[in-house]
A and B are shown apart, each in its own frame.
Chain A
Amino acid sequence: MTGRRILVAALVPLALAGCAGTTASAGQEAATTSPVVTATTAAPEPAGPTGQRIEVQVAGGEVSGDTGRVPVPLGELVTVVVTGDVADELHLHGYDRTADLVPGQPAELSFDATIPGVFQLELHEAGTVLLTLQVS
């Protein structure tokens, strides 16, 4: 668990560098971060009895699964799992959490929903909104 946190912490700066949109860093990112994503998804941990698990699939630009406005109770442990067919980056606004999306591999964002409000989860490169999290 601690090791996973460190990996995620190491992933975030890389992901932020990817936001700058330079092609050099994007290539580097794909090379260096895919093992990290594998590590986070190798042992998919159930969100637990109190957690909320949200699953979204992206195929051919179409979003399916728990899309639209998703209500979440304040303080809940939330796990968002996204599976896509194109490499991109997940970005949850407000919480400012990111994760790399590798085609065919589920990418996971796990966090405590401690900030009330309405937040969008989007694909950074494509600009597609996957879902809107309503934390209250």
Chain B
Amino acid sequence: MTLLAHGVGSRTDLPIPLGLALYGAGAAILISFAALLLFWRAPKLGGPSSGRPLPAGAQRVLDGPVLRRCLQAVALALLALVIAAAVAGPGETARNLAPWALYVTFWVGLVPVSLMVGPVWRVANPLRLVHRILRPLAPTAPGAHRLPALGLWPAAVSLLVFLWFELVYPDRAGPGTVAAFLVGYAAVHAGLALWFGEGWFASGDGFEVCSTLIARLSPWARRDDGRLVLRNPLANATATPQAAGLAAVVVVLLGSTAFDGLSRTVWWQTGPGAADDPLSGTLGLLGSVAVISLLYLLGTRLSGRLAGQPAGIQPRRYASSVIPIALGYTVAHYFSLLLLDGQTTWILASNPFGAPGVDLFGTYDDAVDLTAVSPDTIAYVQVGGVVAGHVAGVTLAHEQALRSQRHARASDQLPLVVVMVLFTVGGLGLLFGF
């Protein structure tokens, strides 16, 4: 099995040049303080009632059951195909469709798709269709009244479990692992949805919650009167409902990506992670999430204390401002994986079961072109993604501070901004490889 940290892949990125890392870090620090001192002094971005409505006809189609059921049925068929290919296809990871389809095309691809077209997995989630089919078994959803109290915490747990399978479990890339994970995931979430009602998916299905959160940075939104609107992505992010556990989901996403980056460094591979066993991996993953969590709690609570606000509400209040930072990390670490190793999915989809003579799209004999994107382009996208995420995060935090308290003092925001600078400089450090 390959030891690459991410579930599958044949290569990892070169370390970014030192100069580029330093420029990125310098820009991040400079922009942070410019934001505090020079940006607007009263809330400026539109709230939940802002946005330009789509035509009523478009809303009827997009919100109608027909489109949803069709997309869910297509997604369910693809899920069944991937599970079948995992079980009955070639036994070798390099020739089996399932690991590439799950870890690269679906999990990494979900991010750009959600960013461009909105919360796509909420609409196309095949488990929602499974739940609808099974609902006659438990029509009353006995646990539905408990769901609101759980907030997004179940999604944070669900994501952490998936990320452990993807980044730590030794046989993570094996087709059997992928099949078992997908069947287990579908069974657990369909079962929990029968208990908690269909609302479970929006608060417990890690993939759907992740897609919905990334879509908060897309121009697509739903206004508080229910109309689908186009709005400034930053206003969209500011309007993210401050659910319990929102900060936990964001911190899990950021921490796991940081661990993926960490595990590619020479320092990790020859130091704490040299054993490359489940114990060092689990501790590394949990440790990364814990460090990010602690820094985040410290920054938000300290900022709240300086502003004389209750500390408990702060982590949830500012969680949406960390979404772009998590997105920047994701772009930096997985952009090349999607474009280069992601080609494998389309090659193998031409013959999912490895049957002799089958070549549906005429691509089965193609080789992956690992030179399709140059190392310079990758490095610029990586640094650009991290710095752009940082700028958006600092801007969102600034707006959020002004909303919680008109004419909030810039110095009150300093602790959170310093933590965001640490995230960004740390992220660039991981790309540089120490």
B404 to chain A, nearest CB (A): 44
Which positions 363-407 of chain B face chain A at CB distance < 8 Å? Answer: 367, 370-371, 374-375
Residue of B whose beta carbon sits closest to that of A21: B91
Whether A21 and B2, one on each chain, are in contact in the complex, defined by CB atoms closer than 8 angstroms, is no
A93 at the interface (CB under 8 A from B): yes
B180 at the interface (CB under 8 A from A): no
State the CA gap A134–B269 with chains docked (Å): 15
Which positions 100-126 of chain A face chain B at CB distance < 8 Å? Answer: 114-120, 122
Categorize the interface residue count of chain B.
Answer: 20 to 34
Residues of A within 8 A of B266 (CB): 68-69
Residue of B whose beta carbon sits closest to that of A17: B92
Whether B1 and A116, one on each chain, are in contact in the complex, defined by CB atoms closer than 8 angstroms, is no
Set A19, A69, A94: member contacting B11, Cβ < 8 A: A94
B140 at the interface (CB under 8 A from A): no
State the CA gap A119–B370 with chains docked (Å): 11
Residues of B within 8 A of A135 (CB): 14
Categorize the interface residue count of chain A.
Answer: 20 to 34
A45 at the interface (CB under 8 A from B): no
A31 at the interface (CB under 8 A from B): no
Whether A118 and B12, one on each chain, are in contact in the complex, defined by CB atoms closer than 8 angstroms, is yes
A65 at the interface (CB under 8 A from B): no
Whether B10 and A116, one on each chain, are in contact in the complex, defined by CB atoms closer than 8 angstroms, is no
Residues of A within 8 A of B2 (CB): 93, 120, 122
Given contacts A116-B374, A117-B370, A117-B375, contact A21 B11 (CB under 8 A): no
State the CA gap A82–B284 with chains docked (Å): 32
B84 at the interface (CB under 8 A from A): no
Q: Apart from A21-B91, A93-B11, A127-B3, what 5 extra A-B contacts exist at CB < 8 Å? A: A20-B91, A68-B270, A96-B94, A120-B3, A134-B14
What would be 28 A-B contacts, judged by CB atoms less than 8 Å apart? A19-B92, A20-B90, A21-B91, A21-B92, A68-B266, A68-B270, A69-B266, A93-B10, A93-B11, A94-B10, A96-B94, A114-B371, A115-B370, A116-B375, A117-B12, A117-B370, A117-B375, A118-B11, A118-B12, A118-B14, A119-B10, A119-B11, A120-B3, A120-B4, A127-B3, A132-B269, A136-B14, A136-B375
Residues on B lying within 8 angstroms of A by beta carbon are 1-4, 10-14, 90-92, 94, 264, 266, 269-270, 367, 370-371, 374-375
